[in-house]
Amino acid sequence: MALFDKISENGHWLIRLSLASIFLFHGFIKFPMAEMMAQGMGMPLMMIYMLATMEIVGGVFILAGAIFNELLTRIAGGIFTVTMAGAIMMVHWPQWSFVASESHPMGGMEFQLLTLLISILFLAGGNSVFATASE
């Protein structure tokens, strides 16, 4: 059981690192393709830059929140929740599907939905989401 206790104590890093890597990657990649994205999505260029910045800040905050301050974790959860809710409503909802098909060759939005729900978990629970029952 000691092994599972150790994993339980540090398991939040697996989720934090994966969530941070998703948003850091998507944030940084938006900068060189911002004009193309703005035109393709019919959004002002400044909105793309704001979105990219939010994703990068959220990625840093979700990691820093575990070390420095729970508020950073909650802020990151809020940033990610707004980002993913917007992405689902603007891009993925019109293509609703959970499976790959002829009309949805890349599959559905299960990834986006999972990312949204994990983001809500961090927003609502902060660092205590991963607190053990014995604490």
Please state, as a whole number, how many other Cβ atoms lie within 10 Å of the Cβ of residue 113: 14
Query: Would you say residue 90 lies in a domain?
Result: yes
3-state DSSP assignment of residue 96: coil
In a domain, 134, yes or no: no
Q: Residue 18 pLDDT > 50, yes or no?
A: yes
Q: What is the mean pLDDT of the chain?
A: 88
Helix (H, G, I), strand (E, B) or coil at 50: helix
Whether 72 is covered by a domain: the verdict is: yes
CA 56 to chain centre: 10
Q: Angle 34-41/45-67 helices, nearest 10 degrees?
A: 120
Residue 128 burial class via C-beta count within 10 angstroms: exposed 0-12, middle 13-18, buried 19 and up: exposed
The answer to whether residue 104 sits within a structural domain is: yes
Tokens standing for 50?
Answer: 């704001």
pLDDT digits (tens, 9 = 90+) for 79-127: 999 999 998 888 777 666 666 667 666 566 788 899 999 999 999 999 9
Task: Read off the pLDDT of residues 52-72 as tens digits, 9 standing for 90 and up.
Answer: 999 999 999 999 999 999 999
37: nearest Cα among 51, 25, 50, 48: 48
Q: What is the pLDDT of residue 54?
A: 97
Residue 132 has pLDDT above 70, yes or no: no
As given in the structure block, the two tokens for residue 98 are 């959970």
Q: For residue 59, give its domain range.
A: 2-128
Check: CB of residue 98 under 8 Å from CB of residue 109.
Answer: yes
pLDDT digits (tens, 9 = 90+) for 114-130: 999 999 999 999 998 77
20 within 8 A of 51, measured Cβ to Cβ: no
- Does residue 134 surpass a pLDDT of 50? no
Domains in the chain, number: 1
pLDDT of residue 116: 96
Asked if residue 135 belongs to a domain, the reply is no
Whether 133 is covered by a domain: the verdict is no
